[in-house]
Amino acid sequence: MATVFIPTPLRKFTNHTSKVEVPGGTVMEVIQTLTSTYPPLQRHLINADGKVPSFINIFVDDDDIRNLQQEQTPVKSNTIVSIVPAIAGGLK
């Protein structure tokens, strides 16, 4: 089971859970399992082309999956998968 960190803006779709244990051998499998558990997450994590949208970064441990094997990056049982969306606050 990989551990997935859910970022603040998406926690409203996971009953405010910040950390979820999810089975899956690749990043895409993990995301698919996650979105089947929390269907409202799907439109934020998978775009019409079946990929992770460009305003979301997925890191497997410390590495950006774009520098690994994208959505097919392997995930092990002790892997931490972090979902890091663009946020823009600061001023107000």
Write the CB contacts of 36 (distance below 8 Å, at least 6 apart in sequence): none
Which residue is listed with tokens 């859970």? 17
23 vs 34, 55, 57, 79, CA distance in Å? Answer: 9, 24, 20, 11
Single out the residue of 1, 35, 42, 64 in contact with another protein (rule: CB under 8 A).
64
Q: By CB under 8 A, is residue 19 in contact with another protein?
A: yes
Single out the residue of 31, 59, 73, 75 in contact with another protein (rule: CB under 8 A).
59
Q: By CB under 8 A, is residue 7 in contact with another protein?
A: yes
Residues of this chain that bind another protein (CB under 8 A)? 5, 7-9, 18-19, 44, 53-57, 59, 62-64, 66-67, 82, 84-92
